[in-house]
Amino acid sequence: MDKAYALNKKQVLEELRSDEEMGLSQTEAEKRLIQYGLNSLGEEKKTPMWKRFLSQFADAMVLILIGAAVLSAFMALQEPGFEGWIDVIVIMAIVIINAILGVYQEGKADQAIAALKRMSSPKSKVIRDGQKREISSDQLVPGDILALEAGDLVAADVRVLSQNSIKVEEASLTGESVPVEKNAFAVLSEDTGLGDRENMFFMGTAITYGRAVGVITDTGTRTELGKIATKLKSIDDSVTPLQRSLNSLGKILGAICIAVCLIVFFVDVFIQNTPWNESLMIAVSLAVAAIPEGLAAVVTIVLAIGMTRMAARNAIVRKLLAVETLGCVDVICSDKTGTLTQNEMTVTRFYSAGRIYSVSGTGYAPIGELSAEDGQPVDPDNDLKLPMLACLLCNDAVIREGEEGRYTCIGDPTEGSLVALAGKAGYERGETNGRYPRITELPFDSDRKMMTTYHINVIMEQITSFTKGAPDIVLDRCTHFYKDGKSVSITEEIKKNILETNHRFASDALRVLAVAYKTYGAEDENIAADFSHENDLIFLGLTGMIDPARSEVKDAIRVCRAAGIRPVMITGDYKDTAVAIARDLGMMDENTQSFSGAELDAISDADLEKLCETTSVYARVSPDHKVRIVESLQKNGHIASMTGDGVNDAMALKKADIGVAMGITGTEVAKNSADMILTDDNFATIVHAIEEGRIIYSNIRKFVGFLLSCNVGEILVIFIISLIPASIFNAVGMPITAAITPLTAIQLLWLNLVTDSFPALALGREKGEPDIMSQPPRRKSESIINKRMRIMILVQSLAIFSAVFTSFIIGLNVLFVNDVLRLEHSRTMAFATLILAELFRAYSSRSERISVFKLGIFSNRMMNVAVLFSGLMLMAVIYIPGVNGVFDNQPLTAIAWVPVVFLAIIPFLAGELYKVVSQKLRKKE
């Protein structure tokens, strides 16, 4: 039902054809259930397994490998026997295994998310056929009369029909950290904002105080929460920087591969008169050489390892490639309530009898102390007895200690903070209530803005009432002031002092409540509560409370700033409160500013793009504002992360480069929209995740450089040697009749998949370099293969080419058994040289800047194991009969290993020398 808040109660009931006393009939409810459907937001449509599997092949490098397999299959059909099919089987096995790995890891992440899901409101109390009954919340329909009380979660959008001192926690929807009151009699204008609809309850919010009855106006996707969930589906998932880099790399390699293959094929066929099938085999070898077959698998596995490490540190990543994106985040847009703050109101200042007290401790735990600002000792039993009793007795909240010592509040968070305050002064709730029983009360309402309770035994032979409420209202009703254990007439000077203290507290963004008391002569348990009793009060004190910042967030923000990351607060709370929290956390300084939602409405998108660079706090914002802010940051080239836990964060979580949701307090909508979920709801965990992301990206760079250097070296070897005319080989005594390739396709596949992949995996497990969180985030536009890596690849690939080419020529000229086996021996020498060069070079690739001798050559145990394993596998494919035939190898003599080993060291030395030279050049800049 649209705009039910703009109609009065009678009009709403008529529109919904319902009755406040009788509710709907069961028959009518069943009809409406068929008409409107289940009251749920619906499960996000899951991608079928076969589609997820096929999506793994949508990559240029994978498609080239498939093309190479097709060509190999075509040639295998032309030849008798099974040998020709080995290349086809190996290539396709690589492609399929990589796809299975990708699907498996994404499935593991989905399972972790499913384990986090909790039902938010499985049951609701409705009136049907004139009787109150409890039904499953997904069976609710528009027109149902819903009964709500403290502790209930609202399961649909509801127009309030009647209420008794009702307060609702709407932080998950509006960002407002303090429960709001509702008014059944309010009729609002049609353009009233979501946070100001005082006659409505909304799906996903919680009743913290009082009771109410309302009629359901909307269910499922038609609720305000459902509308947000629907909008989320229209926001496309953005591509991560690593995806862009790898996609770009694939296209570049693909273009180079096709060009080089065509050149070699046409030169061999039309110039060197090589048979077309042999030329095609050389082209396939080139295609295999150009593609780092192990790269996709290694990236997948390293990211998966990163996901596992992050999960152990309370961060579950839903999307594999999102792991590295965290490493280049340069702006974190964070919700305030529950993310930067504890979402637990805490009294931090207290005023009584002319003295101001600071209160230590946070949250609802009764752990902390009261210390007077004047430095004098505090005696809670004498100085603060009546103020503490007022806080504790004029109060309906209950604080409970749960598992692991965590305290939670049942009831209004503001009242919960007062219970915690009294606990810190030594007054325990159960014992105090037993000693001073409540005999009657005047419940809080929004007109009086006060609450009063009546108790016996507080003062002998008298009844005592305690009142709490808005400071200005309570103070206006006070004629006396409590000091030194007695009541004194309130003077203008005392009143001025109280008002100044109230202003001081409010200026620090504290929510202020006043407490007072009154006595009633002879004890009479049958006293009737009367609003007139809330006059001629004796003023007791002021309490200043705030939703405090999480203790670990300050350090986390400090680390963020050192890492070149700018934290930004985006909240639905009031501007003064948001700014106070931001300043306390170190998020704001003299060079930054704040904006409210109303101010954002007056700003164009173009102006916002400029202003967002110097704005650290956005307050009283709507979900659409959050998306605008994230979009403005992205247009300025920032990689933006959005953290939050509420429904109101969901669209921005989806739009951001990285959306981070809270796992404990987070709504299901927020979790399903996020790329990462924090299982401990700890903002500081984001810092660990960013550090892990940087380490992962740094390690990916290491093994990408390592693998590509080898591939470029292979291309140079095959490309150049295959273009050398046979006449040149014949002139130096080598009986070659056509173009030759120094490495066959099966040898290259073995090298790229087995020999290179294990050291590459070991590179992916390198520890982060000590200063990784002191480096600025990389630019969004920066390719993974930047200028520094391009130079390194050039240096290393030339060194690899020189070593392998020399080894091949030595084998052809010197170390041969007979002319029949000469080419096979030469290929085996080139093969062994290339593999050993890769194994030696893997140690140098452990850092792009620091020499391996400083790191400690053997300090990476996984690298030692990987190199040893790959070395043993090399021996196996050279010396095991039958196996060496499959890989076109011949056993090498001992003398053949001398040039092989010495030549293999050249690329390692080139890599270390390049580090020294580049570091010296950088220091001169």
User: What is the Cα–Cα distance from 703 to 764, expressed in whole angstroms?
Assistant: 7
Residue 711, judged by CB atoms within 10 A of its CB (0-12, 13-18, 19+), counts as buried
DSSP string, 751-762: IIIIITHHHHHH
- Yes or no: say if 68 and 91 are a contact pair by the CB < 8 Å rule: yes
Token code pair at residue 48:
């079928």
Which residues are CB-neighbours of 181 under 8 A, at least 6 positions away? 166, 167, 168, 198, 446
Residue pair 547/345 in contact (Cβ under 8 Å)? The answer is yes
CA 260/CA 263 separation, integer angstroms: 5
Sequence-ordered alpha helix ranges (H) in 344-485: 385-393, 413-424, 429-435, 471-476
The vertex-620 CA angle with 40 and 625, nearest 5°, equals 70
Task: Name the E strands within 658-749.
Answer: 658-662, 676-678
Length of the chain: 925
Phi and psi of 437, rounded to 5°?
Answer: -60, 145
* φ and ψ of 118, to 5 deg: -130, 140
Residue 834 CB coordination number (10 Å): 31
Q: Locate the DSSP E strands across 610-688.
A: 615-619, 640-644, 658-662, 676-678
What 3-state class would DSSP assign to 373?
A: coil
Long-range contacts formed by 733-740: CB under 8 A, 24+ apart: 733/813, 734/812, 734/813, 734/822, 735/819, 738/268, 738/272, 738/273, 738/274, 738/275, 738/278, 739/267, 739/268, 739/272, 739/274, 739/278, 739/279, 739/282, 740/823
- Residue 377 in tokens: 């000792």
Q: How far apart are CA 142 and CA 276, in angstroms?
A: 75
Measuring CA to CA, which residue among 768, 817, 350, 262 is closest to residue 563? 768
| Strand 640-644 to 200-201 pairing | unpaired
Give the amino acid at 252. Answer: I
Is there a contact between 558 and 589 (Cβ–Cβ < 8 Å)? no
Q: Report how far residue 621's alpha carbon sits from residue 601's, in angstroms, rounded to the nearest whole number.
A: 10
What is the residue type of 505? F
Q: Catalytic annotation on 335?
A: yes
Active-site annotation holder among 330, 335, 547, 584: 335
222: left (phi over 0), alpha (psi -120 to 50) or beta: alpha
CA distance 18 to 24: 6
In this structure, are strands 566-570 and 331-334 parallel, antiparallel, or unpaired? parallel
Distance CA 411, CA 186 (A): 24
Residues with catalytic function: 335
